[in-house]
């Protein structure tokens, strides 16, 4: 418990009131640490509110380290093993929040992601955490005594209108929970990376992840008026492969399979789609040729693809004719093309619409057990600011909870 005779400083200051910062604050607060959380937006947890279409895909019951990208794929193991999806689910259930599994272990609130934010803020309140919103940290210095001195000022970020607090704070532990660069209008900033560099940490190059891909030139023209068409594909880039829906957009391609593969793709890397992943396409085309010799290819393809898409395939890429007219050389060729469909993306939609930021604070300089800096005692990094990025499907929040929890036990 808190010693009332201790001077009125902070034991822990957490910068950033997102998923990882809130979890870290409540965990440290439960240990009796005097925790102050500073958030520069006008409220905490804005990304949680936006997430999962307003229902927050708050975890994935099948989370394993294989669901994360990082220069060091082993880094996430310890924290994930010590704070599991079942731990977070227990908190959700204790707060009476109803939830359901949508697919593939993805858990969503039945009602609203507001319930998750309210739960975390209530747990912070119970743990005695002081939360200052609309407040920016403008400067951080190491003190001679081994802690940190911070200056704060009213903020105008993320919907704030300058109503925050100007103060100088001292703290023994400082937790950087400022997230990534995705969606600047929700409060995202590069402040955590600047702090990391200031204290001698390496920041690995960042780029947008879980993001729609853009097409340009003739590659866009071919798909242009197909916006809204969705199909089930298998997207492949290197060794990564995701079977799920793809959506044609006005600017390019989106949908779960494309968002997932976008985290593995970079300009210059080959990106291939299997447009009929559940079919032996060649056998199926030969069988259709025997069964429907007079049917045109676009009609046959229209049985397995949206009609507009089947028609476009036969306008741009394949010669359309009755099935009986295809030679036994042509149909295997079409089958091969459908199974290895190249996508020449011009880029991504960038941080404006990306769900996550790849790269970030190099985990080499951070303890995987506690998230503590190996260079600066008392400094911690949690959540997305670190070079750990999850797949689509609740994995990023599970990383935020697990890393926040690990630091909250140590800070």
Interacting residues with ligand FDA (CB under 6 A): 15-21, 38-41, 46-47, 50-52, 56-57, 136-137, 158, 177-179, 182-183, 187-189, 191, 355-356, 383-384, 394-397, 400
Tell the residue number behind the tokens 């290819």, with chain if given: 297
Comparing CB distances to ligand FDA, the nearer of 99 and 397 is 397
132: which 2 tokens?
């200052």
The answer to whether the beta carbons of residues 410 and 370 sit under 8 Å apart is: yes
Collapsing DSSP to helix, strand or coil, 1 comes out as coil
Q: Which helix (H) or strand (E) holds 120?
A: helix 114-126
The answer to whether the beta carbons of residues 10 and 35 sit under 8 Å apart is: yes
Can you say how many angstroms the Cα of residue 146 is from the centroid of all Cα atoms in its chain?
A: 34
What is the smallest separation between the CB atom of 7 and ligand FDA, expressed in angstroms? 25
Q: Nearest to ligand FDA by Cβ — which residue? A: 18
Collapsing DSSP to helix, strand or coil, 97 comes out as coil
DSSP secondary structure of 320-381: --BGGGS-TTHHHHHHHHHHSEE----EE-GGGT-SEEEEEE-GGGB-TTT-BBSSSTTEEE
Comparing CB distances to ligand FDA, the nearer of 189 and 367 is 189
The runs of H, that is alpha helices, within 276-329 are 281-291, 297-301, 307-312
What is the smallest separation between the CB atom of 271 and ligand FDA, expressed in angstroms? 22
Q: What is the DSSP letter of 276?
A: S
Comparing CB distances to ligand FDA, the nearer of 164 and 302 is 164
What is the smallest separation between the CB atom of 5 and ligand FDA, expressed in angstroms? 31
326: which 2 tokens?
């295809």
Comparing CB distances to ligand FDA, the nearer of 177 and 297 is 177
What is the smallest separation between the CB atom of 270 and ligand FDA, expressed in angstroms? 27
Which of 48, 40, 42, 57 minimizes the C-alpha distance to 18?
Answer: 48
What is the smallest separation between the CB atom of 171 and ligand FDA, expressed in angstroms? 14
Comparing CB distances to ligand FDA, the nearer of 208 and 339 is 208
What is the smallest separation between the CB atom of 315 and ligand FDA, expressed in angstroms? 35
Comparing CB distances to ligand FDA, the nearer of 21 and 212 is 21
What is the smallest separation between the CB atom of 142 and ligand FDA, expressed in angstroms? 18
Comparing CB distances to ligand FDA, the nearer of 134 and 304 is 134
What is the smallest separation between the CB atom of 46 and ligand FDA, expressed in angstroms? 6
Comparing CB distances to ligand FDA, the nearer of 277 and 350 is 350
Q: Report how far apart the first and last C-alpha atoms of the chain are (Å, whole number).
A: 15
The answer to whether the beta carbons of residues 381 and 192 sit under 8 Å apart is: yes
Q: What is the DSSP letter of 296?
A: B
């Amino acid at each position: 418990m808190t010693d009332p005779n201790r001077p009125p400083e902070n034991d822990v200051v957490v910068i950033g009131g997102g998923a990882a910062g809130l979890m870290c604050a409540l965990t440290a607060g439960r240990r009796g640490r005097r925790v102050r959380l500073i958030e520069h937006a006008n409220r905490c947890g804005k990304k949680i509110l936006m997430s999962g279409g307003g229902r927050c895909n708050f975890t994935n019951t099948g989370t394993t380290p294989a669901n994360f990208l990082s220069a060091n794929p082993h880094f996430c193991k310890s924290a994930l093993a010590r704070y599991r999806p079942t731990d977070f689910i227990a908190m959700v259930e204790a707060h009476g929040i109803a939830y359901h599994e949508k697919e593939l272990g993805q858990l969503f609130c039945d009602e609203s992601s507001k319930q998750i934010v309210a739960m975390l803020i209530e747990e912070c309140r119970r743990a005695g955490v002081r939360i200052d919103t609309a407040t920016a940290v403008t400067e951080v210095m190491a003190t001679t005594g081994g802690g940190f001195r911070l200056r704060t000022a009213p903020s105008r970020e993320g919907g704030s209108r300058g109503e925050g607090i100007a103060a100088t704070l001292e703290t023994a532990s400082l937790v950087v929970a400022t997230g990534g660069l995705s969606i600047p209008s929700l409060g995202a900033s590069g402040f955590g990376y600047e702090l990391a560099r200031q204290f001698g940490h390496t920041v690995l190059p960042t780029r947008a992840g879980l993001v729609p891909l853009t097409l340009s030139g003739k590659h866009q023209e071919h798909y242009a008026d197909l916006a809204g068409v969705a199909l089930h594909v298998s997207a492949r880039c290197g060794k990564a492969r995701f079977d799920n829906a793809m959506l044609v957009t006005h600017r390019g391609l989106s949908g779960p399979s494309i968002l997932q593969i976008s985290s593995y793709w970079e300009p210059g890397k080959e990106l291939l789609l299997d447009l009929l992943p559940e079919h032996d396409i060649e056998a199926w085309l030969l069988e259709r040729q025997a069964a429907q010799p007079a049917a045109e290819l676009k009609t046959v393809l229209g049985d397995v693809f949206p009609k507009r898409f089947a028609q476009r395939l036969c306008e741009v890429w394949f010669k359309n004719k009755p099935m009986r007219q295809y030679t036994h050389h042509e149909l295997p060729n079409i089958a091969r093309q459908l199974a290895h469909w190249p996508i020449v993306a011009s880029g991504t939609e960038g941080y404006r619409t990306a769900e996550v930021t790849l790269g970030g604070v190099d985990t080499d300089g951070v303890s995987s057990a506690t998230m503590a800096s190996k260079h600066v005692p008392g400094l911690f990094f949690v959540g997305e600011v670190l070079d750990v990025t999850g797949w689509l499907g609740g994995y990023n929040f599970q990383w935020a909870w697990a890393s926040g929890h690990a630091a909250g036990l140590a800070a």
